[in-house]
Amino acid sequence: MFVQKIFFGSPAVVRIAPFFIFVLVTVAQEKIGGVSGGWLYLAKTIIGVGMIFAVRPFVAEMHWAVSWEAIVTGILIFAIWVGLDSLYPHLQKSKAGWDPLAQLGSHAPLAWLFIATHLLGSTFVVPPIEEIFYRSFLYRYVASKDFLSVSLDKFLPVPFLVTALVFGLAHNEWLAGILCGAAYQWLVLRKNRLGDAMTAHAITNCLLGVWVVWRGAWHFW
């Protein structure tokens, strides 16, 4: 209880900490790669679920919401992400990505465990963690250090551009990422809540995961 009080006593920390812990584990996972990286992704997903439940009482706006705008945006961003992939240079030279089916066998239960974990994690764990950081914290913090005083539906050009750029440059597919960040921010502004952006983010990631497995486009993962 004492540690929780210190850790989550700050409205900023409660929105930042889960994201940066998730990023640190992701960096380690990418450096390790292979089967060990697959196990680390599984661990990261479990850690992510724990962090979401831990911070949820302190982040009132972290609730899922479904709307036609969220559904359309999620599908559109998926199409943009895949459609633009070969049309611009990425931040780093594209890698083949790890194919668990090729390494472990197409009928190996472990391969499908890693795939299912990645699909579920990117669909249900990544969106709330990233959205509370980018849309709930960063956008409003760029506007004011007293970020809680900034309404979620208040459009501010500089925070909008900064947040979209930071979100985009955090991805190897930076151009699609910038468009993605702008679209999710638009949803928050339009709906005055975080839930639609979380849903759109989940739809994009889910469709992308299905595409990865179906088309063997492992570089997206």
3-state secondary structure of 146: coil
100-120 CB burial, b ≥16 within 10 A, e <16:
bbeebeeeeeebeebbebbbe
The alpha carbon dihedral of 72, 78, 83, 85 has a sign of: positive
Q: DSSP class of residue 123? A: I
Among 33, 38, 27, 55, residue whose Cα is nearest residue 125: 55
Spell out the per-residue pLDDT of the chain, length 221, in tens: 444 555 567 999 999 999 999 999 999 998 998 999 999 999 999 999 999 999 999 999 999 999 999 999 999 999 999 999 999 999 987 677 899 999 999 999 999 999 999 999 999 999 999 999 999 999 999 999 999 999 999 999 999 999 999 999 999 999 999 999 999 999 999 999 999 999 999 999 999 999 999 999 999 99
Alpha carbon distance 43, 29 (integer Å): 10
Report residue 15 as tokens. 């929105």
- For 108, phi then psi, to 5°, come to -75, 125
Alpha carbon distance 52, 34 (integer Å): 27
End-to-end CA distance of the chain: 37
Q: What is the pTM of this model?
A: 0.94
Report residue 121 as tokens. 């994690």
